[in-house]
């Protein structure tokens, strides 16, 4: 995300004499509509909403001069990033503004490293503003990359640590992680493995720590998604 004190202007980029096509797709239709409504206030943008990434790909293929694709999701999985990579292969040079809470680090590294188009990554939190999005779009149409190297290194390192975390689990922790992925609650897991509910609660807490899932009410869901992805061969930080 651009720093809060960024002084980049929000006027139409120099040399752009007409509106730029920006395609917006989101995992929630209302979010997509809201972003399009905000972007439509800028005289240099012509945002169009898409029902899905596949729909956005078709529209980009037909667009006269696609400038950027804005993808807004909660979790950017490997499957999603692979689809984005294929889309950028078909439409060389299109910029990507990815707005997400969590990103599959290894897949993101491939997309950033292989693609010719510019790239911006915004954290999907309450602090991400319309100004952030417009600054990112300006950077995209100018051919710049708004992904600080330190942020990418952190994301990639996170993927490596996560893989190491699986290797560090005890047999009991691995079993509990699998049972969490099956949707069982702590008391049910306790009955299944013959331990106290409190012991299972502590073990699940250790799993959160090992996988860096801290302070989030959805971390049990994320742990389950990680376990499912690992069971399926490690193809993504979370399952769709």
Tens of pLDDT, residues 57-108: 877 777 766 788 899 888 888 888 888 888 888 887 788 888 888 877 777 7
CA distances 12 to 69, 98, 209, 226, Å, are 18, 21, 45, 42
- The pairs formed by 123-132 with CB atoms below 8 angstroms and a separation of 24 or more are 123/1, 123/99, 124/72, 124/73, 124/74, 124/99, 124/100, 125/101, 127/1, 128/1, 128/99, 130/38, 131/10, 132/1, 132/2
By the 10 Å C-beta count (0-12 exposed, 13-18 middle, 19+ buried), 198 is classed as exposed
What are the structural domains, with CATH classification, of the chain?
20-148 (3.40.50.2300), 169-231 (1.10.10.10)
**pLDDT (0 to 100) of residue 10:** 45
Q: In what order do the strands lie in the sheet with 45-50?
A: 45-50, 20-26, 66-76, 95-103, 119-123
Would you say residue 3 has pLDDT above 70? Answer: no
């Amino acid at each position: 995300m651009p720093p809060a004190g960024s002084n980049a202007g929000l006027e139409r980029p120099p040399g752009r004499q007409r509106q730029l096509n920006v395609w917006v797709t989101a995992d929630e239709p209302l979010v997509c509509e809201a972003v399009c409504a905000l972007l439509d206030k800028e005289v240099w943008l012509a945002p169009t909403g898409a029902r899905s990434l596949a729909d956005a790909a078709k529209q980009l293929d037909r667009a006269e001069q696609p400038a950027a694709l804005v993808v807004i999701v909660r979790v950017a999985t490997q499957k999603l990033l692979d689809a984005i990579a294929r889309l950028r292969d078909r439409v060389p040079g299109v910029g990507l503004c990815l707005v997400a809470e969590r990103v599959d680090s290894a897949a993101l590294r491939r997309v950033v490293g292989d693609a010719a188009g510019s790239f911006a990554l915004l954290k999907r939190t309450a602090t991400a503003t319309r100004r952030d999005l417009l600054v990112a779009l300006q950077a995209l149409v100018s051919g710049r990359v708004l992904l600080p190297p330190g942020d990418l290194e952190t994301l990639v390192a996170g993927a490596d640590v996560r893989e190491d975390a699986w290797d560090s689990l005890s047999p009991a922790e691995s079993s509990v992680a699998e049972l969490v992925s099956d949707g069982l609650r702590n008391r049910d897991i306790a009955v299944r493995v013959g331990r106290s509910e409190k012991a299972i609660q502590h073990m699940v807490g250790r799993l959160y720590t090992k996988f860096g899932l801290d302070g989030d009410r959805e971390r049990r869901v994320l742990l389950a998604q990680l376990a499912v992805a690992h069971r399926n061969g490690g193809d993504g930080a979370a399952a769709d």
